[in-house]
Amino acid sequence: MPEKIHIFIQKKEESILILSHKNNNMSTANKNLSDYNIAAMPDATPYRFGIVVAEWNTEVTSKLLQGAYNTLQRHGAADENIIVVHVPGSFELTIGASTLLSQKLVDAVIVLGVVIQGETRHFDFICQGVTQGVTQLNIQYNKPVIFGLLTTDNMQQATDRAGGKHGNKGDEAAVAAIQMAHMQYQIAELNKD
Ligand code: DLZ
């Protein structure tokens, strides 16, 4: 049985993240995935989010989920506006996201998975499949599908990016989801004038 999800809810006033107040650059090994400019963040309260999370490498993906969920909440998303969907592995992230989008349940979707390089070419096929699948969904539904897939050489690199020394890819994905949902709202509003 895969490990069940533990969602740690923290109050807004509790300072939990590393907040650098620097800029919005996405991560590399030299950047912390949890760094972002909190002052520039839109309010997430009006938006509905889907999180699709792979159970393969669940010890890491559960931490990505925790990061994404906490970050959405921190910016105002209510529990009832966050749908978490579990899929067996990263290859199924695309169909998980597509199901949420086709039912018009969400304003943005985050997909979370961890693919670790093995001895075979399976790694390449899964990474390509998810990358192309997610790209396709963005275009097909005109909704943000945020790529929260860790593609690493080993487990250490993955844990370093799931609440470890390089921050949490789930935080980064949630920040992008809020920004993109808000961007679409703002553009729709312009169209009303
Ligand atoms: C089969 C497989 C392998 C070898 N490695 C991973 C992995 O590192 N990360 C991951 O999320 N999933 C992996 N899977 C499972 C596939 O994503 C998929 O669930 C199965 O091939 C069934 O379609």
For 75-120, write each residue's pLDDT tens digit. Answer: 999 999 999 999 999 999 999 999 999 999 999 999 999 999 987 7
Residue 105 to residues 81, 97, 100, 153: CA-CA distances in angstroms? 9, 10, 6, 35
Exposure string (b/e) for 161-187, b if CB count within 10 Å is 16 or more?
A: bbbeebbbbbbbbbbbbbbbbbebeee
Structural domain contains residue 176: no
Structural domain contains residue 133: yes
The answer to whether residue 21 is catalytic is: no
pLDDT at residue number 54 = 98
Asked if pLDDT for residue 53 goes beyond 50, the answer is yes
Q: Which domain holds residue 83?
A: 48-167
Hey, whose CA ends up nearest to atom 9 of ligand 1? 115
CATH number at 108 reads 3.40.50.960
**What spacing in Å lies between the alpha carbon of 175 and ligand 1's midpoint?**
26
Structural domain contains residue 30: no
Residues with CB under 6 A from ligand 1: 54, 56-57, 88-92, 113-116, 118, 122, 126
pLDDT at residue number 76 = 98
Distance CA 31, CA 22 (A): 11
Structural domain contains residue 144: yes
Structural domain contains residue 119: yes
The alpha carbon of residue 189 and the mean position of all alpha carbons in its chain are separated, in whole angstroms, by: 25
pLDDT at residue number 143 = 98
Distance CA 32, CA 98 (A): 30
Strand pairing report for 108-116 and 82-87: unpaired
Structural domain contains residue 157: yes
Among the atoms of ligand 1, which is closest to the Cα of residue 120? 4
**What spacing in Å lies between the alpha carbon of 92 and ligand 1's midpoint?**
9
- Work out how many domains the chain is built from and give that number: 1
Average per-residue pLDDT for the chain: 87
The residue with tokens 């593609």 is 151
Q: In this predicted model, which residue has the larger pLDDT, 7 or 36?
A: 36
Distance CA 152, CA 108 (A): 25
Please give the DSSP secondary-structure letter assigned to residue 118. -
**What spacing in Å lies between the alpha carbon of 174 and ligand 1's midpoint?**
23
CB neighbours (10 Å) of residue 40? Answer: 11
The residue to mutate among 64, 65, 115, having the most atoms of ligand 1 within 8 angstroms of its beta carbon, is: 115
Among the atoms of ligand 1, which is closest to the Cα of residue 61? 11
Structural domain contains residue 132: yes
The sign of the CA dihedral 143, 90, 168, 49 is: positive
pLDDT at residue number 52 = 98
Structural domain contains residue 193: no
**What spacing in Å lies between the alpha carbon of 55 and ligand 1's midpoint?**
9
Among the atoms of ligand 1, which is closest to the Cα of residue 116? 8
